């Protein structure tokens, strides 16, 4: 700086004749400092314009620098918020290309956020377009997500279908299990995987046999024979179930059922005799219309027995004990369409039904036993 300028009080002055414009070093330093701070990443401050600065090119330069400082600071704040992912930040008004570019970037990011939200809601049709390499990458990702989602949905549908099949099959197998096992035993087996044999003290046992079955069956088509038995035993089952009795098994034309097990039932004898009575009635009614007239002998005895599952692969719930043998003897000592009960059973239900005392009859392997015919199967 020359000596003349230093002595001049004005912040800048025009040198007539030379066309030169001189400025105080302080002004130049402030402008230099501003540019220095831009390069060093420091916050910029507006340059205070001295009151004595004439309205010339130096003043204009300072004003431009100050405008730049304001836009730069606003832009810096905007950029800083963008870097933190704050997409809601209102961008500053600026015509600078750099500011406009970042504003475009913010717009693209906002749009991407919107599209991402849509895709995350399962709306995979949304795409981004005209965003250069990013469009391709993003849309590829969206397509892969869509494919994966559809694959999972397909697998879910298949799984659901398989589950429905499994559930249906399970229901079928449970139903099958119930066909061969009493409900309580089936539930026990299902829940614990085993069922222990159990002694039941008070049970009544029903035995029936078709009269003349061997002779009749030899003249019948096997299919017809099975159809007849199926029809009759299905009705037997319904009667037994209705009276809380349990069919144990059929052996050819023989039908074995119980009452009082596995669920205890104080009225076991009554229920079983009532069932027997209904069975006789049913057959009588059936025989009125049916071509083949079936007749049964029925025997009932009450006492203790053991019930349990026999077999590992083929479950059979069976009953054991002398009570069953005696019931079988009652049946063999019965007559067509008659219900023959032992004295034990009689004592349990004698007040409920009419009986005819048959006296003592010789029973194979048991000696003489008193028996009773239920009278016409009629209730009291």
Cα 310-232-291 angle, rounded to 5 deg: 145
User: Closer CB to other proteins, residue 99 or residue 309?
Assistant: 99
Are 245 and 294 in contact by the 8 Å Cβ rule? The answer is no
Q: Cα dist. 238→23, 42, 95, 246 in Å?
A: 119, 96, 93, 10
Quick check: 163 binds other proteins (CB under 8 A)?
no
Q: How far is the CB of 110 from other proteins (least distance, A)?
A: 4
Q: Which of 56, 100, 143, 234 binds other proteins (CB under 8 A)?
A: 100
Quick check: 95 binds other proteins (CB under 8 A)?
yes
Q: Which of 107, 155, 161, 234 binds other proteins (CB under 8 A)?
A: 107
Quick check: 67 binds other proteins (CB under 8 A)?
no
Quick check: 75 binds other proteins (CB under 8 A)?
no
Q: Are strands 338-342 and 296-310 parallel, antiparallel or unpaired?
A: parallel
Radius of gyration, alpha carbons of the chain: 52
User: Closer CB to other proteins, residue 111 or residue 140?
Assistant: 111
Quick check: 123 binds other proteins (CB under 8 A)?
yes
Cα 121-122-124 angle, rounded to 5 deg: 120
Quick check: 93 binds other proteins (CB under 8 A)?
yes
Q: How far is the CB of 5 from other proteins (least distance, A)?
A: 40
d(CA 5, CA 10): 9
Which uninterrupted H or E stretch holds 225? helix 222-242
Stretch that binds other proteins, among 118-126, 148-156, 231-239, 358-366 (CB under 8 A): 118-126
Kindly state the tokens that stand for 159.
Answer: 């799984």
Quick check: 114 binds other proteins (CB under 8 A)?
yes
User: Closer CB to other proteins, residue 5 or residue 124?
Assistant: 124
DSSP assignment of 137-176, as one string?
Answer: HHHHHHHHHHHHHHHHHHHHHHHHHHHHHHHHHHHHHHHH
Residues forming the site for other proteins (CB under 8 A): 93-95, 100-101, 103-104, 107-108, 110-111, 114-115, 118, 121, 123, 125-126, 128-130
């Amino acid at each position: 700086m020359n000596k003349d300028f230093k002595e001049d009080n004005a912040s800048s002055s025009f040198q007539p004749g030379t066309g030169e414009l001189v400025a105080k070093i302080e002004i130049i330093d402030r402008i230099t400092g501003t540019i220095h701070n831009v390069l060093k990443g420091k916050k910029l401050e507006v340059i205070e314009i001295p009151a004595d600065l004439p309205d010339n090119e130096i003043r204009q330069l300072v004003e431009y620098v100050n405008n730049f400082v304001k836009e730069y600071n606003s832009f810096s704040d905007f950029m800083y918020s963008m870097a933190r992912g704050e997409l809601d930040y209102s961008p500053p008004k600026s015509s600078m290309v750099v500011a406009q570019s970042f504003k475009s970037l913010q717009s693209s990011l906002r749009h991407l956020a919107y599209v991402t939200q849509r895709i995350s809601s399962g709306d995979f049709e949304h795409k981004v377009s005209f965003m250069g390499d990013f469009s391709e990458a993003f849309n590829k990702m969206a397509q892969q997500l869509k494919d994966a989602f559809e694959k999972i949905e397909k697998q879910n549908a298949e799984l659901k279908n398989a589950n429905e099949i499994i559930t249906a099959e399970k229901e079928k197998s449970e139903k099958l299990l119930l066909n061969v096992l009493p409900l309580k035993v089936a539930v026990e087996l299902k829940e614990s995987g085993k069922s222990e044999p159990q002694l039941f003290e008070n049970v009544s046992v029903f035995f029936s046999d078709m009269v003349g079955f061997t002779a009749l069956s030899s003249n019948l088509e096997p299919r017809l024979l099975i159809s007849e038995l199926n029809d009759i035993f299905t009705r037997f089952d319904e009667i037994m179930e209705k009276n809380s009795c349990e069919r144990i098994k059929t052996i050819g034309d023989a039908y074995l059922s119980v009452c009082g097990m596995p669920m205890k039932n104080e009225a076991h004898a009554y229920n079983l005799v009532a069932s027997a009575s209904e069975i006789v009635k049913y057959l009588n009614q059936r025989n009125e219309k049916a071509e083949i007239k079936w007749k049964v002998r029925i025997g009932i005895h009450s006492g203790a027995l053991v019930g349990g599952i026999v077999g590992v692969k083929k479950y059979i719930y069976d009953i054991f004990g002398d009570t069953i043998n005696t019931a079988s003897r009652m049946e063999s000592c019965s007559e067509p369409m008659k219900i023959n009960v032992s004295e034990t059973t009689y004592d349990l239900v004698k007040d409920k039904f009419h009986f005819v005392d048959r006296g003592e009859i010789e029973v194979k392997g048991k000696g003489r036993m008193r028996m009773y015919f239920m009278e016409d199967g009629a209730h009291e």
